[in-house]
Amino acid sequence: MAQPQSGKTPSASTDQNSIYSILSSSKEAGHPYVDHLIQQIDRLAEIGRALSGEHDLNTLLEKICDEARKFTDADACTLYIVHKDQLHFRIVQNHTMEIRMGGKTGEEIKLPPIDLVESNVSAYVAIKGVSINIPDVYDTDLFDFTGPKEFDKATGYRSTSMLLCPMRNHENDIIGVLQLVNARNPDTGATIPFSPDFVSLTESLASQAAVSITNARLINDMEHLFESFVEVMATAIDEKSPITGGHIRRVANLTMVMAEELHKTDDLPFKEVHFTPEKFHELRVASWMHDIGKVTTPVEIIEKSKKLETIFDRSHLVDMRMQFIIQKTQLEAAEAQLKLAELGEGPDKVESLKDETEHTIRELREIREFIQKCNEPSEFLEDEKLERLKKISQKTYMDENGNEQPFITPDELENLSIRRGSINEKERQIMKNHAQITLDMLYKIPFTKKLKNIPNFAGAHHECINGKGYPLGLQGDEIPFEGKLMAVTDITEALTAQDRPYKKAMPLDQVYAILRSMVKRNELDHDLVEFFINKNVYEIYQAKHETPTSTQPPEVSSKKKKDP
């Protein structure tokens, strides 16, 4: 009859040391099976070291069953994990039946979970925290073995001996059950009961496995927590400005698509470029954090859609000022005409005054329209327009208090004189400063060894091959490969973005022409740009990440692959 074993938590090191000591003495006394037991203890120590170095949960679970079967000479193994008052199948192995399900195999286990009721042997082990060693499941009435017997009937297999051990972690919680079936005689291959001498060692293995599983879960949870935190921060930065909302997400997705295509290619010069899962993870986090410094950038600069805009669009103030000047001119002309009439002046003088006033009003209205056009970021300002703005700034009028005021203030002149775009040089420096702040912030984060390059990758996406980029002025091979890659995807996203009020999304042929022009100026990496264009990376990204309802894709020209 089967007898439950001790429910105490075994300590791997204590049990091994004490057993090892006893066995060493027994070996000297000439016991025949001592050598095998010592080998098992040594093997258990090796297994513990192997398990402690594995952090992928699926690989770890599969390795636990593989090692447990080898360790005990068992034909089959099932690993259950406790979840919500049930035991869930995570690994099922049977050497005779050539069954391997769960883990890294990709073979789905469709067996329903087991409720934690004491009539089921595996549930009993999970509830009581004790090991069960059964010589023959057909020769006991302690538990309900309907499941194994039905399996035997359907397959012709013969379930005989069974050893079940609780998987107890460092907090003394039962997180799963390790079930071994049909111990084999190593010499004859015959099915035998599991030796009671190895129950304690198998419990030790199960506890080591439980600790390894817990550690793997903690590491995975911490990585997931950190990545989620990064994405939340990036989303918050994007949401800070609805105008650029989604920029970080789009750059991150486009960067990863580019990396995946580089990883798959066999074409030169990227044939040897490969990303391990860890490197993919590092690049993904870096791309999510590439603009983290924008948390300090004023919203009014990020959202500046017109040249005169600050917290609000000051063009309305300029427009009201010009209307005031026009109305004031009209009123002064009307008063002058009335005065001429009172003085009895002839109609010629009155008519001359009217003509002069109309000319002045037309000129003022033209100035008003000219200022409105200059306020548009899409309006490129040639030298003649800049000169006219300067002349306008020198014109004055008298305000309602009798004080002389300029048509446009020096600050308004500075902003209206922006040749292209909407931000002036001071604002541009503030915008560029986000790259240095990104570096400063990332250098303060104690990244793990696997993520140590994140600051270098994320902080280099504005560096140029010619050394004229920022914030560090790196050049050539001083710029990490991932930083060069991200520079291409960041610029592409900026050119194709449809949420910028100061510009329209460009068609891809125009985007590609700009990328190639930046290569000619030695700003972007030639090979990466050509790979991006010729491998249709942007179209792959669109198909994978953009839905027709969320964004309209930029127009694709049939000449997109030809040199501009």
pLDDT tens digits, one per residue of 106-124: 788 888 999 999 999 999 9
The predicted structure's pLDDT at residue 52: 61
Its sign, for the CA torsion 156, 157, 159, 161, is positive
Give the C-alpha separation, 208 to 41, whole Å: 13
Q: Token digits for 195?
A: 């030796």
Please report, as a single letter, which amino acid is at residue 255: T
Contacts of residue 405, Cβ cutoff 8 Å, sequence gap at least 6? 396, 397, 398, 399
Give the C-alpha separation, 415 to 375, whole Å: 8
- How big is the chain by its Cα radius of gyration, in Å? 38
Q: Phi-psi category of 318—alpha, beta or left, where left has phi over 0 and alpha has psi -120 to 50?
A: alpha
CA 507 → CA 490, 515, 538, 542, 546, distances in Å?
16, 13, 12, 14, 16
The predicted structure's pLDDT at residue 310: 76
Closest CA to 249 of 288, 297, 298: 288
**Residue that is written with structure tokens 């609805």 in the block:** 242
**Residue that is written with structure tokens 């040199």 in the block:** 563
Q: pLDDT per position in the chain (564 positions), as tens?
A: 444 444 343 344 444 445 445 545 554 545 555 665 566 666 666 666 656 665 677 777 888 888 888 888 899 999 999 988 899 998 999 999 999 998 888 788 888 999 999 999 999 999 999 999 999 999 998 899 988 999 999 999 999 999 999 988 878 889 889 999 999 998 888 999 998 877 877 787 777 777 777 777 777 777 777 777 777 777 777 677 666 658 888 999 999 999 999 999 999 899 999 999 889 999 999 999 898 888 777 777 766 777 777 766 787 888 888 899 889 888 888 888 788 777 776 677 777 888 888 888 899 999 999 988 888 877 678 889 889 999 999 999 888 888 999 998 898 888 888 887 777 788 888 878 888 998 999 999 888 888 899 999 999 999 999 999 999 999 999 999 999 999 999 999 989 987 665 567 788 999 999 999 999 999 999 999 999 999 999 999 999 987 654 444 444 433 333 333
Closest CA to 172 of 5, 6, 7: 7
Neighbours of 534 (CB within 10 A): 12
Q: What angle do CA 384, 389, 392 make, to 5 degrees?
A: 125
Give the C-alpha separation, 528 to 286, whole Å: 18
Give the C-alpha separation, 442 to 353, whole Å: 69
221, with CB counted inside 10 A (0-12, 13-18, 19+), is: exposed
The predicted structure's pLDDT at residue 354: 83
Its sign, for the CA torsion 388, 389, 390, 395, is positive
* Size of the chain in residues: 564
CATH fourth-level superfamily of 241-302+426-545: Hypothetical protein af1432 (1.10.3210.10)
DSSP string, 131-144: -EEES-GGG--SS-
Closest CA to 319 of 394, 399, 375: 375
Neighbours of 479 (CB within 10 A): 21
> What are the pLDDT digits (tens) for 181-232?
999 998 888 999 998 877 877 787 777 777 777 777 777 777 777 777 777 7
Mean pLDDT for the chain overall: 82
Please report, as a single letter, which amino acid is at residue 219: I
Closest CA to 178 of 10, 323, 42: 10
Q: Phi-psi category of 5—alpha, beta or left, where left has phi over 0 and alpha has psi -120 to 50?
A: beta
> What are the pLDDT digits (tens) for 516-555?
999 999 999 999 999 999 999 999 999 998 765 444 444 4
Closest CA to 15 of 198, 191, 160: 198
The predicted structure's pLDDT at residue 37: 59
Contacts of residue 526, Cβ cutoff 8 Å, sequence gap at least 6? 519
Give the C-alpha separation, 321 to 327, whole Å: 10
Give the C-alpha separation, 33 to 455, whole Å: 58
Query: Is residue 396 classed as helix, strand or coil in its secondary structure?
Result: strand
Neighbours of 243 (CB within 10 A): 17
Give the C-alpha separation, 285 to 230, whole Å: 7
Q: Domain 3-218, what fold?
A: Beta-Lactamase (3.30.450)
The predicted structure's pLDDT at residue 50: 59
Q: How remote is the C-alpha of 196 from its chain's centroid?
A: 50
The predicted structure's pLDDT at residue 55: 61
DSSP string, 506-531: PPHHHHHHHHHHHHHTT-S-HHHHHH
